[in-house]
Amino acid sequence: MERMPLGVSRLDGMVGGGAPAGSVVLLAGESGAGAREFCYTSAVMNGLAATDHELFDLHYGELESEAVLPDRIHYLSFTDERRAVTNEMSIVMDGELVRGGMADVEFVELADEYFRLTPVPSEWYVDGPTTIADLDTNASRSNVLEALASYLNEHAAGNLVVVDSLTDLVAVADDRLEWSDLTVLLKGLARASHRWGGVILLLVNSEVLSPTQLGRLKEATDGTFRFEWESGGSERARTLVVEQFRGVLSRLEDENIVQFETEIHDSGFDISNVRKIR
């Protein structure tokens, strides 16, 4: 099975090179527990593989035999500008890695579609005539879910796409769009992605979701990475649990692994220790 690197070398090595091509992966995390840093690392490391082989080899290493790099990397944001995201990346990761890794990443802002029907003044989010040149005129006037779907339909095939984040859509689910619209879109996305052959990462803050809402998001995607804080005495540790995920969970279960302790350093998100099934 062809796999696409997630950008975390130890994890990729354990699951045969990365996520199965065609996967939609939910990254559900508590605040600061590592889900966002996972997104940053995935985008930057896959970007480095295309722009700076020396840095990629130094900080990631060799690709697994089944791994195939994405043709392109797309980073979608509903509320933030590219500069704000790369600045935050540079706080988390080494600035040289961020500059090299993000140099060829297509950064897409859907702020126009997201904020248009809100009280937010257009001067706060519009920079120039449009915020997303790749969408046609009709799509740019559509709602945010339609704009997201149109962009993915055009650009997701064979690529790595990071969506930052579903939390923004959850925030307006009761006001401007139905919650069912979001979950149905994700189910359709999972179906289409199997044909496209890329990998789509969907970031969401699990703390703003009810158990039922989180369960529906899990059901609508191929796999879930859950990022949590775990307390032990006076210290807290970040942990990653890999939940239902075709072609990934089975490999981890063969090793009796269900949970990872993680860390964040200059090279981004990483796995530090593994927990065995008890």
pLDDT (tens place) for every residue of the chain, 278 residues total:
799 999 999 999 989 999 999 999 999 999 999 999 999 999 999 999 999 999 999 999 999 999 999 999 999 999 999 999 999 999 999 999 999 999 999 999 999 889 887 788 888 888 754 444 444 443 333 589 999 999 999 999 999 999 999 999 988 876 667 888 999 999 999 999 999 999 999 999 999 999 999 999 999 999 999 999 987 666 789 999 998 888 787 777 766 566 899 999 999 999 986 765 44
Per the structure block, which two tokens stand in for 151? 């962009």
With both helix axes pointing from N to C terminus, report the angle between 179-196 and 211-219 in degrees, rounded to the nearest 10: 30
DSSP-assigned beta bridge partners for residue 96: none
In a domain, 92, yes or no: yes
In a domain, 264, yes or no: no
In a domain, 147, yes or no: yes
In a domain, 240, yes or no: no
pLDDT score for 128: 57
pLDDT score for 162: 98
79-97 b/e with 16+ CB inside 10 Å = b? Answer: bbeeeebbeebbebbbeeb
Per the structure block, which two tokens stand in for 173? 């689910």
CATH number at residue 108: 3.40.50.300
What is the number of structural domains in the chain? 1
Domain containing 79: what range?
Answer: 3-228+246-259
CA distance 42 to 37: 8
In a domain, 34, yes or no: yes
Q: Pairing state of beta strands 257-265 and 235-245?
A: antiparallel
In a domain, 266, yes or no: no
pLDDT score for 120: 84
In a domain, 97, yes or no: yes
Cα 241 versus chain centre, distance: 16
49 in Cβ contact with 69 (< 8 Å): yes
3-class secondary structure, 215: helix
Question: Tokens 């609508």 map to which residue?
Answer: 220
133 Cβ contact partners less than 8 Å away, ≥ 6 residues apart: none
CA distance 186 to 257: 28
Q: Identify the burial level of 27 via C-beta atoms within 10 angstroms of its C-beta, where 0-12 means exposed, 13-18 middle and 19 or more buried.
A: buried
C-alpha angle 257-167-12 in degrees, rounded to nearest 5? 30
223 in Cβ contact with 185 (< 8 Å): no
In a domain, 56, yes or no: yes
Per the structure block, which two tokens stand in for 149? 């779907």
21 in Cβ contact with 197 (< 8 Å): yes
Alpha helices in the chain (DSSP H): 9-14, 35-51, 53-59, 82-92, 95-102, 111-115, 137-140, 144-155, 166-171, 179-196, 211-219, 249-254
